[in-house]
Amino acid sequence: MSKSVYFLLSILILAASAAGIACDAELEGETDGELERPLAGGETTTFDRSSSAFTNPAANLTEKNLEHHFLGDVRFENQFVSAPATVNPGLGPVFNNTSCLNCHTENGRGMPAVGNRPGKSQALVRVSLPADRGDPELPGGPVPVPGVGTQIQDQAIYGVAAEAVVEIDWVEYGGSYGDGTAYTLREPVVTLTPSDGGSFDPEMMTSLRIPPPVHGLGLLEALDEETILAAADPDDADGDGISGRPNYVYDVQSARTVMGRFGLKANQPNLLQQAAGAYRDDMGVGNPLFPDEDEEGYDIDFETLEATAFYTQTLGVPARVDWADVTVRRGERLFEAIGCASCHTPTMTTGDHEIAELSRQTIHAYTDLLLHDMGPGLADGRPDFEATGSEWRTAPLWGLGLAHTVLPLSGLLHDGRAGSIEEAILWHGGEADGSREAFRTMSASDREALLAFLRSL
């Protein structure tokens, strides 16, 4: 290398470090809160942005809890088969898939197409009848459809008929940004054909769902009710057009109605019951919380159920990247300026949890865990406890930038209709109409900044 090249290089290095100093100086004025944002999950935060980013245990687990986590990890992966069998019997008789992991691939957002793996799907269809058509399965919950209950199981063990064949067609819509740039949105249309050759009750309501990511959920369980309620504004008293409210759902263990937090309409009170419901309804695996009808005893014991739930409680959250980048910071300000942060709450602090590692953590989940009316475009028309047919729980956005690193075919939104972050935003309606329009009509460079921020999560 010639002397002049060395000279040029050292000038470049000097210039780069000078820029670095300027950057640090700029950051010195920031509040601690903003500096903490890269640590999305507080002390549980992990530093892996690879395709396994959502599968790491919380960084702060004690050795004992880490062991328990790995035990739960095995449960989450266990493939169930039909009884009698020596390992993991009890699948079915009807089911949607054979393990938690088959649907929650790499713990990320699922793929929307039903049947895109031979014989198995990650999406599932919930069904129910209007409230005046019968008794709910759980107090205050959806009314089961005779013969198929509240969920369509499209798979069955040998010799048993699945409940229905599920088919999805996609309808496309065109639209354009304020600057004339065109975009395309697509929406699923579900067709259910009962396997017995009959037809479903014309009043049956259906809702297609894909799995949301499962990292960081223990921290959401650890939020105090008061923290969640503080952001609720059911009657929109402050007049900003946003009126989040919690769902209230039935807790099987305490036999009480409590605040809902998990599931796409916040229809589950805690991760234990979420796992128990998944075992019975998604895999046909009866358990102490939700026994299999027509089967004696349980397919799994309480210990197994608890370990699986523990696994989902103790997954860490990946740290943000590029959070100090100028464009990303501009995008972050836009996110707050156009009202995204009114639902996707940037910062909250957890309360006490029986898993001490989850307690008193400052987290950046970008959800308020509240239900919001998202307008007719996203409505499924199927109420779930207090959630109406157009309300959904604000989706957590931590790890959003990794969605397609983790699983390239992941869908966004409750039914996976959005293939990209832009599409997900463009589907926002109802209480989020104003935010959506602000995004749609902003300049291309502002849109790019907002997306750069979202990709940094």
Determine contact, residues 189/171, Cβ cutoff 8 Å. Answer: yes
219: partner contacted, choices Ca ion, ligand HEC, none (Cβ within 5-8 A by kind)? none
Query: Closest distance between ligand HEC and the C-beta of residue 368, in Å?
Result: 8
Q: Name residues contacting ligand HEC, limited to 213-232 (CB under 6 A).
A: 214, 217
**Complex with Ca ion: residue 196 or 240, whichever CB lies closer:** 240
Burial (CB < 10 A; 0-12, 13-18, 19+), residue 311, is buried
Q: What is the x/- site pattern for Ca ion, positions 74-113, by CB under 5 A?
A: ----------------x-----------------------
Residue 378 found at the interface with ligand HEC (CB under 6 A): yes
Dihedral of the alpha carbons of 112, 115, 121, 123, in degrees to the nearest 10: 30
In this structure, the number of other CB atoms found within 10 A of the CB of residue 189 comes to 10
Contacted by 233, from Ca ion, ligand HEC, none: CB < 5 to 8 Å by type: Ca ion
What's the token pair of residue 286? 């009866």
Q: Is residue 242 within 8 Å of 236, Cβ to Cβ? A: yes
Does 308 help bind ligand HEC (rule: CB under 6 A)? yes
Other Cβ atoms less than 10 A from the Cβ of 280: the count is 22
Tell whether residue 262 is a contact of ligand HEC (CB under 6 A): yes
Cβ contact 301:426 at 8 Å: no
Residues in contact with ligand HEC, shown as a per-residue x/- string from 324 to 363 under the rule CB under 6 A: --------------xxx-xxx-------------------
Find the binder of ligand HEC among 231, 432, 442, 449 (CB under 6 A). 432
H helices within 269-402, ranges in order?
271-277, 283, 302-313, 326-337
Q: Does 242 bind ligand HEC (CB under 6 A)?
A: yes
- What track of x and - describes contact with Ca ion for positions 198 through 237 (by CB under 5 A)? -----------------------------------x--x-
Q: Which stretch binds ligand HEC (CB under 6 A): 168-176, 177-185, 228-236, 278-286?
A: 278-286
**Comparison of 211 and 213: residue with beta carbon closer to Ca ion:** 211
**Strands (E) located in 109-220:** 124-128, 151-152, 155-156, 164-176, 182-194, 205-209
How far is residue 164's CA from residue 95's CA, in Å, rounded to a whole number? 11
Q: What does the radius of gyration of the chain's CA atoms come to, in whole angstroms?
A: 23
How many CB atoms are closer than 10 A to CB 33? Answer: 11
Query: Is position 447 an interface residue for ligand HEC (rule: CB under 6 A)?
Result: no
| Interface with ligand HEC, residue 283, by CB under 6 A | yes
Min separation Cβ 48 and ligand HEC, Å: 19
> What number of H helices and E strands is found in the chain?
14, 13
- The answer to whether residue 91 forms part of the interface with ligand HEC (CB under 6 A) is no
Nearest CB to ligand HEC, comparing residues 24 and 442:
442
Q: Which is nearer to Ca ion, 90 or 383 (CB)?
A: 90
Quick one: which of 41, 57, 211, 218 contacts ligand HEC (CB under 6 A)? 211
Q: Indicate which single residue of 26, 30, 203, 238 sits in contact with Ca ion (rule: CB under 5 A).
A: 238
What's the rounded Cα separation, in Å, for the pair 439 and 380? 24
Max CA separation in the chain (angstroms): 86
Residue 399 is a binding residue for ligand HEC (CB under 6 A):
no
- Smallest distance, ligand HEC to C-beta of residue 425, A: 5
CA distances to 60, 90, 100, 313, 356 from 72, rounded to whole Å, are 17, 18, 11, 10, 18
Contact 37, 364 (CB under 8 A): yes
* Residue 350 in tokens: 């957890």
Closest approach, Cβ 442 to Ca ion, in A, equals 22
279 binds, among Ca ion, ligand HEC, none (CB under 5 to 8 A by kind): ligand HEC
299 binds Ca ion (CB under 5 A): yes
88 binding ligand HEC? (CB under 6 A): no
Distance CA 46, CA 9 (A): 35
CB count, 10 Å around CB of 130?
A: 14
Q: Which of Ca ion, ligand HEC, none does 149 bind, CB closer than 5 to 8 A by kind?
A: Ca ion
Q: Helices 326-337 and 444-455, interaxial angle, to 10°?
A: 100
At closest approach, how far in Å is the CB of 169 from ligand HEC?
19
Residues 6+ apart with CB under 8 A from 117: 102
Closest CA to 183 of 419, 400, 373: 419
Which residues form the interface with ligand HEC (CB under 6 A)? 76, 96-97, 100, 102-104, 109, 122, 124, 126, 209-212, 214, 217, 242, 262-264, 271, 274-275, 278-279, 282-283, 308, 312, 338-340, 342-344, 372, 374, 378, 392, 394-395, 400, 412-414, 421, 424-425, 428, 431-432, 435, 439, 454
Which residues form the interface with Ca ion (CB under 5 A)? 90, 148-149, 151, 153, 233, 236, 238, 240, 242, 284, 292, 299
